């Protein structure tokens, strides 16, 4: 009997270890955007549904144990084969990295399918399958506690990754350790499968219990779908609109899993009327938070979102527990629950971006939860699943219609567009300027009546401004800039200069090149300006392979100020690439202004690795359009830092030291540099 909880706990733990692990591995291939996490989550939800469907099919088959043993054997053989050709059995080679990321969702799904698809499928099927076999062998015992144990294992796996696994092991080591864990799981599950190897499911499952009605099955989907919709929409809301903090996406997922654990551990954890009252108070707090979002502390806002998410998911999962079927229909129940979760993910990732210009799916989930509570509390509906299902279905359609009509524009925004990389807004500011805003980060600002003035982080006495205006001009300058924004730095270009921008977001490119007439920095520049679309590192690698060494005099890294830093652009391998494209006396200017991360030790370690001289330049905000900015400048030619204009602003790193380990493509640790 002990093998059942061991198998279930291990499978759940491994399921939620692989998600952040493989997500971190492929994140650099898609520009480091937080949307990679939600896309990966959608993939895993869809595959979870596939695993549950397999369990539903298997328990009705003859010789089901043999079938499952064969599947696990094939999976271990696949992992062994991949381990011989990749750095680890679950970390794909760079050959799979896409050159074109115009539709990232397809590429994310393709890579995840090839690398972790089959083992994840096996792990996903384990929970309902083992619970069904457990109920068959021990009919007097409840399977609900095993489900709670599964979610407890998931929570441990999720939290263990950022707190213990990532800081201590490289990605290659993580992949091998995870594979060893999978083999241990397969041994435990294999023994249990052996016990049922000759069971004929079609003959043994003869139930006298009533088969769940269609309305009840649809209600399971609605409840789980609403919980999934709430989870993903809150994740998008807080990680894109409130604060782009590393690993913030873990918080809502942990809350979601905690609600599963409590709801399915014991019915005493959920009382409908109490949670209705608490949800009402939390909703009022949420309304107040939304009205005063600009002035409220970020941590307070995140807490309000977290409390609302917990109450909403407890309501959905508590009602699911109340509507759970007899053990004979267990796999059907889990299949419908997983289908609802996948439907929520599909809506957020694939449908909502076409319906809404903002993250309005959060309000949809909020409204559906309110309707659900009203339906459950009214005596007329509370005991009639058919009526509940009809009301929820109509409410869902009406809510989407109202949101699409009434909430499809940001207040006071001149332009709004949402894509895979987030929501880009163009807003008219109080100082007679127009700004591009991505979430909470201003990506550039241009004055309407003084269009040639550099602004924000790029004013003349900022780190980049000092380098571009004081670099010794023995010839025309070649300047590379990773991160386009509104193209402010192009204003420093002189006749004959070459300015080459690298930008992954096509909406940003269109706006900077003049769409709508909001920004003219690129058009007004005296330099020869080009824009390379796609991930900057991939573009630079392709240029080097094709013999197009750029020989930049100045290379500006402006990709770290949005708080969601693309880690792959600040590793040893990335810097080796930059130096290949840099002229012998060239300078790397890195913009490291960041609310949550202190990047100085990372760049200092890179400077030590490559023998570069390094200084820091800070600029205080002023009324002329300058923002607070921090820059580090790195070069092989330290005499450049003796130029009076640069030396007067320089902060030396003499005597500086840091315990932060050198970041590589195989190792990085954001927790070490959290402020």
pLDDT 10s digits, 518-553: 999 999 999 999 999 988 988 999 999 999 999 999
* Secondary structure letter of residue 200 according to DSSP: B
Q: Which residues pair with 667 in a beta bridge?
A: 664
pLDDT 10s digits, 379-409: 655 556 766 776 767 777 776 766 665 554 4
How much is the pLDDT for 497? 97
How much is the pLDDT for 200? 55
Contacts of 286 (CB under 8 A, 6+ apart): 304, 305, 308, 366
pLDDT 10s digits, 403-428: 665 554 445 688 988 888 888 999 99
Residues of CATH 1.20.1250 domain(s) within the chain? Answer: 1-206
Domain 1-206 in CATH 1.20.1250? The answer is yes
The per-residue DSSP string of 139-195 comes to TTS-SHHHHHHHHHHHHHHHHHIIIIIHHHS-HHHHHHHHHHHHHHHHHHHHHHHHH
Q: 508 pLDDT exceeds 90?
A: yes
Helix, strand, coil share (%) of the chain residues, nearest 5? 60, 15, 25
pLDDT 10s digits, 119-135: 999 999 998 899 888 88
Mean pLDDT rounded to a whole number for the chain: 87
CA angle 247, 32, 597 (to 5 degrees): 50
* Contact in structure between 182 and 118 (CB atoms under 8 Å): no
How much is the pLDDT for 9? 94
* Contact in structure between 226 and 368 (CB atoms under 8 Å): yes
Residues of CATH 3.40.50.150 domain(s) within the chain? Answer: 422-673
How much is the pLDDT for 407? 54
Across 19-32, average pLDDT: 81
Across 417-440, average pLDDT: 87
pLDDT level of residue 461 (50, 70, 90 thresholds): very high
How much is the pLDDT for 559? 84
Looking at domain 422-673, its CATH class is: alpha beta
Report the DSSP pairing between strands 582-591 and 552-557: parallel
How much is the pLDDT for 206? 42
C-alpha atoms less than 13 angstroms from C-alpha of 223 in its C-beta half-sphere: 28
pLDDT 10s digits, 188-231: 999 999 887 665 555 444 445 578 888 889 889 999 999 999 99
**Rounded percentage of the chain residues whose pLDDT exceeds 70:** 89
How much is the pLDDT for 327? 74
What are the tokens at 76? 């271990």
Q: 178 pLDDT exceeds 90?
A: yes
Neighbour count for residue 431 (Cβ, 10 Å): 13
pLDDT level of residue 14 (50, 70, 90 thresholds): very high
Contacts of 111 (CB under 8 A, 6+ apart): 26, 29, 92, 96, 98
What are the tokens at 609? 């690795």
How much is the pLDDT for 144? 67
Q: 333 pLDDT exceeds 70?
A: yes
pLDDT 10s digits, 26-44: 877 776 676 777 788 889 9
H-state helical runs in 429-470: 463-470
């Amino acid at each position: 009997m002990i093998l059942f909880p061991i198998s279930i706990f291990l499978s759940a733990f491994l399921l939620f270890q692989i998600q952040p692990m493989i997500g971190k591995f492929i994140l650099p291939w898609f520009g480091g955007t937080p949307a990679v996490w939600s896309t990966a989550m959608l993939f895993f939800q869809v595959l979870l549904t596939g695993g549950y469907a397999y369990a539903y099919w298997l328990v009705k088959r003859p010789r089901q144990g043999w079938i499952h043993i064969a599947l696990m054997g094939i999976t271990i053989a696949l992992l062994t084969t991949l381990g011989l050709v990749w750095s680890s059995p679950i970390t794909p080679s760079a050959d799979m990295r896409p050159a074109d990321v115009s539709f990232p969702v397809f590429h994310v799904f393709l890579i995840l399918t090839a690398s972790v698809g089959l083992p994840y499928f096996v792990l996903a099927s384990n929970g309902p399958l083992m619970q069904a076999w457990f109920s068959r062998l021990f009919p007097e015992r409840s399977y609900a506690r095993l489900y709670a144990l599964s979610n407890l294992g998931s929570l441990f796996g999720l939290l263990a990754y950022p707190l213990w696994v990532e800081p201590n092991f490289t990605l290659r080591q993580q992949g091998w350790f995870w594979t060893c864990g999978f083999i241990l799981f397969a041994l435990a599950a294999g023994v249990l499968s052996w016990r049922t190897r000759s069971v004929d499911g079609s003959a043994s499952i003869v139930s006298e219990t009533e088969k769940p009605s269609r309305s009840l099955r649809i209600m399971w989907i609605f409840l789980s779908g609403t919980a999934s919709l709430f989870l993903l929409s809150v994740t998008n809301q807080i990680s894109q609109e409130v604060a782009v903090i590393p690993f913030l996406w873990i918080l809502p997922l942990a809350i979601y899993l905690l609600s599963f654990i409590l709801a399915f551990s014991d019915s005493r954890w959920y009382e409908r009327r109490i949670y209705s009252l608490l949800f009402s108070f939390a909703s009022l707090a949420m309304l107040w938070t939304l009205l005063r979002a600009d002035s409220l502390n970020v941590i307070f806002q995140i807490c309000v979102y977290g409390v609302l998410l917990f109450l909403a998911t407890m309501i959905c999962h508590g009602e699911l527990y109340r509507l759970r079927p007899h053990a004979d229909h267990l796999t059907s129940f889990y299949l419908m629950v997983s289908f609802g979760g996948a439907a929520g993910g599909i809506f957020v990732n694939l449908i909502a971006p076409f319906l809404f210009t903002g993250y309005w799916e959060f309000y949809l989930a909020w409204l559906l939860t309110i309707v659900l509570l009203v339906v459950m509390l009214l005596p007329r509906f509370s005991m009639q699943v058919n009526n509940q299902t009809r009301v929820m279905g109509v409410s869902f359609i009406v809510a989407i219609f109202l949101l699409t009509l009434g909430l499809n524009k940001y207040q006071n925004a001149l332009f709004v567009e949402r894509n895979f990389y987030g929501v880009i807004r163009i807003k008219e500011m109080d100082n007679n300027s127009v700004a591009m805003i991505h979430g909470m980060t201003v990506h550039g600002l241009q004055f309407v009546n003084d269009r040639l003035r550099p602004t924000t982080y790029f004013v003349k006495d900022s780190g980049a401004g000092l380098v571009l205006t004081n670099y010794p001009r023995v010839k025309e300058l070649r300047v590379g800039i990773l991160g386009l924004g509104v193209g402010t730095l192009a204003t420093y270009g002189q006749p004959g200069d070459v300015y080459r921008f690298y930008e992954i977001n096509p909406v940003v490119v269109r706006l900077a090149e003049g769409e709508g007439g909001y920004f003219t920095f690129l058009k007004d520049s005296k330099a020869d300006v080009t824009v390379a679309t796609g991930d900057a590192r991939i573009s630079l690698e392709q240029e080097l392979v094709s013999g197009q060494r750029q020989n930049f005099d100045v290379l500006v890294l402006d990709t770290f100020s949005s708080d969601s830093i693309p880690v792959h652009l600040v590793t040893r391998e990335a810097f080796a690439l930059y130096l290949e494209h840099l002229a012998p006396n060239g300078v790397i200017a890195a913009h490291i202004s960041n609310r949550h991360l202190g990047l100085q030790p990372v760049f200092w370690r890179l400077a030590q690795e490559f023998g570069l001289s390094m200084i820091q330049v800070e600029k205080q905000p002023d009324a002329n359009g300058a923002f607070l900015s921090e820059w580090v400048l790195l070069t092989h030619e330290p005499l450049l830092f003796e130029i009076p204009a640069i030396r007067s602003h320089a902060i030396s790193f003499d005597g500086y030291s840091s315990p932060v380990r050198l970041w590589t493509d195989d190792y990085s640790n954001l927790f070490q540099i959290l402020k």
